[in-house]
Amino acid sequence: MSAKPTPLSGFPELLPEQRIVEQQIIDTLRHTFELYGFGNLETRAVEPLDQLLRKGDTSKEVYLLRRLHEESAEGHAGMGLHFDLTVPFARYVLENAGKLEFPFRRHQIQRVWRGERPQEGRFREFLQADIDVVGRDVLPFHHDVEVARVMVDALTRLDFLPAFRLQVNNRKLIQGFYLGLGITEPDEVMRLVDKLDKLPAEKVHELLVTEAGVDAATADRVLALATISAADDSFVARVRELGVEHPLLDEGLDELARLVTGVADLTSPQVRVEADLAIARGLDYYTGTVFETRLEGYESLGSICSGGRYDALASDGRSTYPGVGISLGVSRVVVPLIARTGLVADRKVPSVVLVALADEESRAESDTIAAALRARDIPCEVAAAAQRFGKQIRYAERRGIPYVWFRSVAEDGAVTDEVKDIRSGNQFAADAATWQPPAEDLRPRITRG
Amino acid sequence: MSAKPTPLSGFPELLPEQRIVEQQIIDTLRHTFELYGFGNLETRAVEPLDQLLRKGDTSKEVYLLRRLHEESAEGHAGMGLHFDLTVPFARYVLENAGKLEFPFRRHQIQRVWRGERPQEGRFREFLQADIDVVGRDVLPFHHDVEVARVMVDALTRLDFLPAFRLQVNNRKLIQGFYLGLGITEPDEVMRLVDKLDKLPAEKVHELLVTEAGVDAATADRVLALATISAADDSFVARVRELGVEHPLLDEGLDELARLVTGVADLTSPQVRVEADLAIARGLDYYTGTVFETRLEGYESLGSICSGGRYDALASDGRSTYPGVGISLGVSRVVVPLIARTGLVADRKVPSVVLVALADEESRAESDTIAAALRARDIPCEVAAAAQRFGKQIRYAERRGIPYVWFRSVAEDGAVTDEVKDIRSGNQFAADAATWQPPAEDLRPRITRG
């Protein structure tokens, strides 16, 4: 490379001190998910195109693969990069069903690719963190409550995250309500109602009449349902007041009330949970519960954490594998958070200690000190060059390394080791075989630049 | 999905109990690299095609990207998936040079893609773990020793790994020797000598004469050099005996001797390190030190861990960024090791405890017990259904969960909590606020199936 390369729009990359932020977030997510029995899994990045295009509305956004010298331009045997982790997971469950134990919990933290137009929080390559529970043939409703609780716990542990609002709804409720109204194409109506966050209610009302062919009075009730939200199960009475009856509506109301009640104790200044009957989710594989999550002050990002119940995504003819899951857009949150608040680690390297170098001849000696520290799991590095000590301290400072280790040899050959906390300037005698930095210095800390 | 999908050749996936093996390997690698000050970094999966094709001999193996509804079949603005982590890292260094501190150390653990024919240990999508140190304008030779030492330390910590042999050489040594012999195209000769692991020496001799145009006596000496190997710096005298003189040869001999001497203390029954003057590495960006690593009993995999010094890979016109690195083919090792030895975690889930469920009405109570355990970082899960206790114990057994937690309520309302180690059958009273499993049970252990 002979000229400075420029970034690729939609393919964000982080500086070392920013990557530490992202990695601590990933570590926290993984730790939390594992506490609840969700082991980690990875699937290949590549899926057959027919799987990728089978469901959902993202077909235009798939990246196809082709080998450079492949004859056909049709793509590598019809392969594409996955655009989410749910479709590959459903495929994985079917492929390995005989070797898995159900209910099967897993978390998955991987990159996904979508060829959409880049904007803040929307990338062409980004990291997602998903949790799902899948059953064989049946999956009791308490797992819907479980995945919501696990994700709220995980998000709550990210203490630099703004307050967030988990919004829940249930597609059975919506569909049952529409069927009770005599609407014959509830999916089309749902698609139009989903536009309420972009269009005024009057415009959606007009579309319901002109595009979905419902009468004005029915459109009124459709929109009335979408305005209902509540932090407790009081939404049930408000829906009942609209006077619509359908068995699927009853089922959806019951499920949503159980969900809202089941997570009510998680409410805090940091966390709001509410039933919001306008939430529908774009992808059509959801069959019951749906989740969205919005960050206070970052509403323009849309939902940063979404998911729901999918009862029919995976079936091998003999069994079906109903599931429920929720997916955090890690890059969607981390990249704007870093850009807007300057979130950053307080050092650029893992090293807690820089072992100074008296002269190039004593490099082996400095290496021995470093080895003694590493033997007790203290990350450290030896100075790159035997500059004067003031320069070596600045070397540590530029990287945010908090301690510098000095060895001095007196004229009588006596060896003295000292370690300097370069933040306070304090310097004290230390033994590489026993000295321990304070626990809070062992890992980089996250600060607002 | 309505039929059982089949695996894609060359795109390996692991079962949950195998993924735990891979993840513990990744954790160990990351921990070791961080101890030496190598922070983690990730780059985008996508690079401009001209970067991918600029160096090396893998151009045929690159996967191009194209958006599904893109007009041109030429690929997404000439983008492809990276086939290694060195080329993207060199690009990242150039792009961010003004914001990095040099010498810059980083490790990178990511998937790479190559469209080659799949075979054991050769995949189309696989995980690599790289460490590199890059300087600005200069990078002292001691970093060549450093990256070798760090990687050997990391590999040594993988205690289920077979014994391995790190083979080192130096391209200055080889080139200087060839130049001293009067060979005008040393790269072509090097390419032919690289075939020694596939072709008999006589055949290579013949090719040297017919294809590289060297005379028979010169070809003899070229092959004589390639037969030299040694676990110490005794190779220097053996090279000198061949009677070739060149300043570049002197430089290469000196560097290689320093490298072999610098890692000699790492030798153990598990680790051999040797200078092997037949090693050259295919990629032409190496300019000095080259590394290869072979696993005992897995010689057919070829080198599982390779790298070297690259002094000219990155330059922005004002500065050059010489580097040295070494790259472990994680999938190349893990997948065959699992396949051949049945390496597996002793449980399929992170959970240490299954909290039993007396009846569905007491789920909230079991959830509370689980929450108390999780508050002290003990992974656990609540039984999926209130089956009889024998079935719940088998539920734990099938997953390898070592402990089952039972709560019983006496007629007088007194509550008793007990935990059963289902491996020994021992059951004892316990308090969810204080009980601690033995440390060795906290994480899954790796066993040979």
Distance, in Å, from the CA atom of B179 to the CA atom of A217, rounded to the nearest integer, reads: 91
- Tell whether B303 is covered by a domain: yes
Distance, in Å, from the CA atom of B416 to the CA atom of B394, rounded to the nearest integer, reads: 22
Minimum mean pLDDT range among A312-326, A410-424, B16-30, B47-61: B47-61
The token duo for B152 is 């050997």
Distance, in Å, from the CA atom of A247 to the CA atom of A250, rounded to the nearest integer, reads: 5
Question: Would you call B96 and A15 a contact, using CB atoms and an 8 Å cutoff?
Answer: yes
Give percent above pLDDT 90 in chain A: 83
- Tell whether A336 is covered by a domain: yes
Distance, in Å, from the CA atom of A61 to the CA atom of A63, rounded to the nearest integer, reads: 7
Q: Where are the beta strands (DSSP E) in A114-221?
A: 125-134, 164-170
- Label residue B71 by pLDDT band (50, 70, 90): low
Minimum mean pLDDT range among A340-344, B64-68, B196-200, B398-402: B64-68
- Label residue B2 by pLDDT band (50, 70, 90): low
Write down the mean pLDDT value for chain A.
93
pLDDT, tens digit, for every residue of B88-147?
A: 999 999 999 999 999 999 999 999 999 888 888 889 999 999 999 999 999 999 999 999
pLDDT at A187 over 50: yes
- Tell whether A4 is covered by a domain: no
B88 near B82, Cβ under 8 Å? yes
A11 near A126, Cβ under 8 Å? no
Minimum mean pLDDT range among A319-333, A348-362, B200-214, B277-291: B277-291
- Residues 28-47 of chain A whose Cβ lies under 8 A from any Cβ of chain B: 31, 34-46
Residues of chain A with C-beta less than 8 angstroms from the C-beta of B35: 350, 374, 377-380
- Tell whether B8 is covered by a domain: no
Residues B180 and B118 in one domain: yes
Average confidence (pLDDT) over A313-319: 87
Residues B326 and B220 in one domain: yes
- Label residue A74 by pLDDT band (50, 70, 90): very low
Residues A323 and A397 in one domain: no
- Domains contained in chain A, number: 2
- Tell whether B196 is covered by a domain: yes
Nearest to B7 among A38, A95, A317 (CB): A95
Residues of chain B with C-beta less than 8 angstroms from the C-beta of A142: 363
Last residue of a domain, one of B344, B375, B399: B344
Residues A315 and A373 in one domain: no
Q: What is the pLDDT of residue B74?
A: 46
pLDDT at B75 over 90: no
Domain that holds residue A358: 353-448
Question: Would you call B3 and A40 a contact, using CB atoms and an 8 Å cutoff?
Answer: no
Q: What is the pLDDT of residue B409?
A: 87
Question: Would you call A101 and B5 a contact, using CB atoms and an 8 Å cutoff?
Answer: no
Give the burial string for B417-437 (b: 16+ CB within 10 Å, else e): bebbebeeeeeeebebeebeb
Q: What is the pLDDT of residue B52?
A: 85
Average confidence (pLDDT) over A321-333: 97
Residues of chain B with C-beta less than 8 angstroms from the C-beta of A81: 65
Which among B287, B279, B295, B300 has a CA at the least distance from the CA of B328? B295
Nearest to B350 among A37, A42, A317 (CB): A37
Average confidence (pLDDT) over B423-440: 97
Minimum mean pLDDT range among A43-47, B18-22, B281-285: B281-285
B8 touches chain A (CB under 8 A): yes
pLDDT at B282 over 60: yes
φ, ψ dihedrals at A404, nearest 5°: -120, 135
B294–chain A nearest CA distance, Å: 26
Residues B68 and B135 in one domain: yes
In SS3 terms, B175-236 reads as HHHHHHCCCCCHHHHHHHHHHHHCCCHHHHHHHHHHCCCCCHHHHHHHHHHHCCEECCCCHH
Residues A122 and A25 in one domain: yes
Q: What is the CATH number of the domain that holds B419?
A: 3.40.50.800
Residues A371 and A429 in one domain: yes
Q: What is the pLDDT of residue A55?
A: 58
Give how far Cα A21 sits from Cα of A330, B55, B144, B167, Å. Answer: 11, 33, 30, 37
- Tell whether B209 is covered by a domain: yes
Question: Would you call A350 and B34 a contact, using CB atoms and an 8 Å cutoff?
Answer: yes
pLDDT at B259 over 60: yes
Distance, in Å, from the CA atom of A112 to the CA atom of A52, rounded to the nearest integer, reads: 12
Average confidence (pLDDT) over B368-373: 97
A142 touches chain B (CB under 8 A): yes
Distance, in Å, from the CA atom of B186 to the CA atom of B199, rounded to the nearest integer, reads: 19
Residues A370 and A327 in one domain: no
- Tell whether A133 is covered by a domain: yes
Nearest to A16 among B44, B68, B106 (CB): B106
Between chain A and chain B, the number of residue pairs with CB atoms below 8 A apart is 232
Last residue of a domain, one of A344, A364, A382: A344
Half-sphere exposure of B332 (CA within 13 A, CB side): 23
Q: What is the CATH number of the domain that holds A192?
A: 3.30.930.10
pTM for the full predicted model: 0.95
Last residue of a domain, one of A344, A375, A401: A344
Nearest to B95 among A7, A80, A313 (CB): A7
- Residues 348-367 of chain B whose Cβ lies under 8 A from any Cβ of chain A: 348-351, 363
Average confidence (pLDDT) over A134-154: 97
- Label residue A75 by pLDDT band (50, 70, 90): very low
Q: What is the pLDDT of residue A71?
A: 56
Minimum mean pLDDT range among A228-242, A349-363, B182-196, B225-239: B182-196
Which among A347, A417, A353, A344 has a CA at the least distance from the CA of A382? A353
- Residues 59-78 of chain B whose Cβ lies under 8 A from any Cβ of chain A: 59-70, 73, 75-76
Distance, in Å, from the CA atom of B371 to the CA atom of A36, rounded to the nearest integer, reads: 9
Residues A25 and A133 in one domain: yes
Average confidence (pLDDT) over B189-207: 92
Residues of chain A with C-beta less than 8 angstroms from the C-beta of B368: none
Question: Would you call A59 and B39 a contact, using CB atoms and an 8 Å cutoff?
Answer: no
Average confidence (pLDDT) over A364-374: 96
Q: What is the pLDDT of residue A49?
A: 87
Residues A104 and A229 in one domain: yes
Residues A323 and A365 in one domain: no
Residues B113 and B233 in one domain: yes
Minimum mean pLDDT range among A160-169, B28-37, B70-79, B374-383: B70-79
pLDDT, tens digit, for every residue of A240-276?
A: 999 999 999 999 999 999 999 999 999 999 999 999 9
- Tell whether B6 is covered by a domain: no
